[in-house]
Amino acid sequence: MSRLIWFKGEIIPVEDANINVLSPTSQFGANVFEGIRAYWSESKEQLYVFRLNEHIKRLKQSIKLMHFDNKFSDDELINSLLSVIKANNYKEDIAIRQTVFLDGDGSWASTGPVDMFIAPIPRGRTLSESKNGFRCQVSSWERINDNSMSPRSKVGANYINSRVAQIEALKNGFDSTIFLNNRGTVSEGPGSCIFIVRDEQLITPPLTASVLESITRNTIIEIAKNVLDIEVVEREIDRTELYISDEIFLCGSAVEVLPILSVDHHLISTKIGSITEKLQNEYFRILRNENADYEHWLTEVY
């Protein structure tokens, strides 16, 4: 069966979903999106979309910040997503890209016409079984900031910043990269937030450090504080603190919880750290509805 996509109000084969090459979304990256995950539970025979309401809220915030005309209600945004997952009959872990874009033939300053596509696809773990974690470098590229292209909104064009940094890292022989912000302190990874562990304390940059208001970041803080009783501190992190950390990991809907083994060739660990592993395990327990306290974060598909 052909992969199906929700496109402009219809569920159609993905190869039939076409956008005008002269539209603002094609020419200028004028679109906002959410990367959403859903996880299959074998024991419950159910697919759960993780924190869907929070993703919809952030999508609407991005629409507002980009001055797009918003014609979609919350129910339309949610029900359209659930309908296209059901149409594909996915019963495995998946990723969903929900994108609201500027169609038509206007300019980069247009506010409409606005339309949407929702594209689910099977997606396993980011880290292959042959790797214990990623090797990172601190990027020579500065993270975008709230006075240039705010990382608070998930805009397609913003991800060119992550693209150039990731390509630099790959060409230099690393797996990924870590940004500094315009104050010279640690910001985040490409499409992911960062946590370090020092002396049993979990530390992450504040939301004012040019980071996305990440749903996964919020999830990790909640798990650490209220499930695992780990002290969490939100503060500025200097570059050299990365080199002397006990543990480092990236987190996000795409990367989930991803251990970092080294930064700029400074060895952090040869395997996943104990705190990172506890957080990772509890994260996946919650995603598969194995912790009843967080069942409200899950939306059933079937």
Identity (one letter) of the amino acid at 65?
Answer: L
Asked if residues 280 and 272 have their Cβ atoms less than 8 Å apart, the reply is yes
Considering only CA atoms, give the Rg of the chain.
19
The three-state DSSP-derived secondary structure of 127-156 is CCCCCCCEEEEEEEEECCCCCCCCCCCCEH
- 154 catalytic? Reply is yes
Give the number of other CB atoms < 10 A from CB of residue 73.
10
In whole angstroms, what is the distance from residue 131 CA to residue 57 CA? 35
Catalytic residue (choose from 8, 64, 154, 171): 154
Is residue 51 helix, strand or coil? coil
Half-sphere exposure of 200 (CA within 13 A, CB side): 4
- Which amino acids are annotated catalytic? 154
